[in-house]
Amino acid sequence: MVAGIGLAAGSGFYWAASFTTFLAVLVLVLLDDLERKFIGGSTVRIRAELSDRPGALASFSQVFANQGVSIKKISMSIDEENKKALISLEVRGHNIDKEKILEELYLLPGLFSVEWN
């Protein structure tokens, strides 16, 4: 599509190139909204406190992988004073089973708390 718009603009068809660019952007924005609404599944935000130890983040994220849930955003900060890792996640999936995920998370060693939004 980009090549076609470039060829049209390069050949002097500015109106056609502009219209096609506008139409392409409009379609991409609308399809993105439709995908998020119907195909993307639900988005959930999770905050957790874990003990700051090697492999804590890996075992925490493995729980979501085991359930087929995709992690879209993740951030982690370390509380040096209390030796805790504070993890914030944004996950997306079609059938997120909150109970199963929480059950697996609470089996992790060093998990202090989980907040599910």
- Check whether residue 47 and residue 18 sit in a common domain: no
Are 48 and 80 members of one domain?
yes
Structural domain boundaries, residue 63: 42-116
Q: Could you give the number of structural domains in the chain?
A: 2
Q: Are residues 78 and 90 in the same domain?
A: yes
pLDDT at 40: 60
3-state secondary structure the chain: CHHHHHHHHHCCCHHHHHHHHHHHHHHHHHHHHHHHHHHCCEEEEEEEEEECCCCHHHHHHHHHHHCCCEEEEEEEEEECCCCEEEEEEEEEECCCCHHHHHHHHHCCCCEEEEEEC
Q: Mean pLDDT for the chain?
A: 87
Q: 6-32: per-residue pLDDT in tens? A: 888 899 999 998 999 999 898 888 887
Q: What's residue 31's pLDDT?
A: 83
Per-residue model confidence as pLDDT tens digits over 61-76: 999 888 888 888 999 9
